[in-house]
Structure 1
Amino acid sequence: MPGQRSAVLFAWILLVPALLYVAAIVAYPLLQTIHLSFTDASLRRTTDYVGWENYARIFDAEFATIIGRTFLWTFLSVALKMVIGTCGAMLLNAAIPGRTVFRILTMPPWIVPMAIGIFMWGWMYNGQFGMISGLMQRFGLVDGPVAFLAYGSTAFWATVITDVWIGVPMVTMYMLAAIQSVPQDLHEAAWTDGASRFYRMRRITLPMILPAAITMSMISLISTFNSFDPIWILTQGGPSGSTTTMIIDTYSTAIGSKRFGEGAARAVVICLFLSAFALLYFRAVSGLSKRMTS
């Protein structure tokens, strides 16, 4: 049909600017990165093709440790964000006095520039004059100053807590919107039948907000996996690599050591991991949608 062909052509014309933007901003840099990952590019003028050498070099015992640390760091951060954010959303949705004030108080991590907020956490983690160490000494929890960023185990958790502080407001607002979208009639009918508040939350609220929780967890997972600022500003991957994640290792290799080819190979590996996460997400959402509609 001529009219249908014209509509399809018009639709493609409207898509051309977006396609050109994606090609220029996403596709071309990605292809260039993949090409660079097969070379020994550095500050030298000449660049040679090395095949899979960069990939073979990064998959050693040290990089395997970095991958495991990245997954652990991401899992802990995302899990805490989702739990704290969902609980906070439920509290903010409850009919409590001063609810508007509490909603406003969830916004400082968004209002304060990220770098300033991270520097603030760095001061609080300081062993000599940091607030956290001072309070622990005042209450007799420790005998002396605790330099949280000077030891591997405490530095790891310090970066996790800082990243959670940054990400919780987004999760809270998103889940609050999801909770408020649950039909109130369902709660009223269950309340009329004598269902308790916990039962209504478990049988009505949580199943209804599950799709939103899956979407939010996927967004948070990708953002956290690529999180750079909290770790770099606080520890730069130290001490002794205890907070080095894949994104920190990629930056240190490509920018710090000027081994652009190896850094590009690491960036491609990160892209593959995130693509796998996205595929699992779409499968989970598709399966969930089928179960909810059946």
Structure 2
Amino acid sequence: MNARGSAVLFAWLLLLPATIYIAVIVIYPLIDTIHLSFTNASLRKTFSYVGWLNYDKIFNETFAGVIGRTFVWTFFSVLLKMTVGIAGAVLLNSAIPGRALFRLLTMPPWIVPMAIGIFMWGWMYNGQFGMISGVMQKWGLVDGPVAFLAYGSSAFWATIITDVWIGVPMVTLYMLAAIQAIPEDLYEAAWTDGASRFYRFRRITLPLLLPAIITMSMISMIATFNSFDIIWILTQGGPSGSTTTMIIDTYKTAIGSYKYGEGAARAVLICIFLSIFTYFYFRVTSRLSQEYAR
């Protein structure tokens, strides 16, 4: 075997552990889930193939509303996280007094265990004992206690706010690192030419941040789309299904109702949606990157 063949073989040997890991952890469960989605598997020991019946049930029931709600929930949550995170990163990168303290204060939502943080927000949303309702009553904004998690629209936005609170620190720190990687010479040259602060942000910071924004928004979108803990701990998909997203519906079907076949079909549908969305997302963002580069 020549030197080139030895190098190729050595490269494959280095990739072998990762390949085995992906095959065992990712590929096999995915194939098994797809296989399960065509069956009527449940708690019974035996099950049979039912073809596309599970998928027919999805589109013949109220799942269309669940799909739409999931995309709306994901869109607003990611939009707010990216907006607040980028704004926070720009402020933390500025020469403001107490900047180190402000950077430290961005960490608690990320450091505190997620379940504890969500329970804390649940108490804040409580109508009788919650801080938010109490402050609104004290300021005269409402006449009586407001149970935010008892009404569909308020519960929907309450879960979004909680998700934003948990996700903003990661976005902020990621964007802050990306901003600090931008050469200072560019800002100094623009400042010498008389460019305003907003112009420097629009023509220097934002274009150079675009790759980081694309990466972070994609990671945030996938995590938010599959977010389970926040909604389940706060509302369990209620009231009246107003906060039931695709992942919550999949859990209720597969684990709550023991309909593993139908739950697997919903899981496959989630995977398909995320794959299609990721493909078109990268197509659109790559065009935006090319336009900014001009």
Q: TM-score, normalised by structure 1?
A: 0.97
C-alpha deviations, 1:105-147, integer Å up to 9, x for none?
0000111000000000000000001000000000000000000
Letter in 2 for 1:223: A
The correspondence of residues 185-196 of structure 1 with structure 2, limited to 5 A, is 185-196=185-196
2:154, 2:233 → 1: CA distance? Answer: 16
Q: Which residue of the partner structure matches residue 73 of structure 2?
A: 73
- 233-242 vs 40-49, which deviates more? 40-49
Q: Could you tell me whether the CA contact under 8 Å between 1:149 and 1:155 is conserved in 2?
A: yes
1:94, 1:293 → 2: CA distance? Answer: 25
C-alpha deviations, 1:93-113, integer Å up to 9, x for none?
000010000000000011100
1:58, 1:188 → 2: CA distance? Answer: 57
Q: Which residue of the partner structure matches residue 263 of structure 2?
A: 263
- 2:177 pairs with 1:177: yes
Letter in 2 for 1:104: L
Letter in 1 for 2:86: T
The residue matched to 1:47 in structure 2 has which SS?
coil
1:285, 1:16 → 2: CA distance? Answer: 33
Aligned-pair distance for 1:277? 2.3
Aligned-pair distance for 1:161? 0.3
- 2:113 pairs with 1:122: no
The correspondence of residues 78-227 of structure 1 with structure 2, limited to 5 A, is 78-227=78-227
Q: Could you tell me whether the CA contact under 8 Å between 1:211 and 1:288 is conserved in 2?
A: no
2:16, 2:284 → 1: CA distance? Answer: 31
1:192, 1:18 → 2: CA distance? Answer: 50
Q: TM-score, normalised by structure 2?
A: 0.97
Letter in 1 for 2:153: S
Q: Which residue of the partner structure matches residue 54 of structure 2?
A: 54
The residue matched to 2:62 in structure 1 has which SS?
helix
Which consecutive unaligned segments of at least 5 residues does structure 2 have? none
The residue matched to 2:202 in structure 1 has which SS?
helix
Aligned-pair distance for 1:283? 2.6
1:253, 1:33 → 2: CA distance? Answer: 14
Letter in 1 for 2:282: F
C-alpha deviations, 1:59-81, integer Å up to 9, x for none?
13510000000000000000000
The residue matched to 1:13 in structure 2 has which SS?
helix
Letter in 2 for 1:76: F
Q: Could you tell me whether the CA contact under 8 Å between 1:149 and 1:235 is conserved in 2?
A: yes
C-alpha deviations, 1:258-293, integer Å up to 9, x for none?
000000000000000111122124334544555566
Q: Which residue of the partner structure matches residue 13 of structure 2?
A: 13
* Alpha-carbon RMSD: 1.3
Q: Could you tell me whether the CA contact under 8 Å between 2:210 and 2:289 is conserved in 1?
A: no
2:214, 2:264 → 1: CA distance? Answer: 30
Which consecutive unaligned segments of at least 5 residues does structure 1 have? none
Letter in 1 for 2:93: N
Q: Could you tell me whether the CA contact under 8 Å between 2:78 and 2:217 is conserved in 1?
A: yes
After TM superposition, the runs of 4+ consecutive aligned structure 1 residues lying more than 3 A away are: 284-294
Letter in 2 for 1:260: Y
The residue matched to 1:59 in structure 2 has which SS?
helix
Q: Could you tell me whether the CA contact under 8 Å between 2:207 and 2:293 is conserved in 1?
A: no
Aligned-pair distance for 1:201? 0.8
Letter in 2 for 1:279: Y
Q: Could you tell me whether the CA contact under 8 Å between 2:37 and 2:263 is conserved in 1?
A: yes
The residue matched to 2:210 in structure 1 has which SS?
helix
2:19, 2:271 → 1: CA distance? Answer: 20
Q: Could you tell me whether the CA contact under 8 Å between 1:124 and 1:130 is conserved in 2?
A: yes
C-alpha deviations, 1:180-238, integer Å up to 9, x for none?
11111111001001111111111111111011111111000000000000000000000
2:259, 2:107 → 1: CA distance? Answer: 40
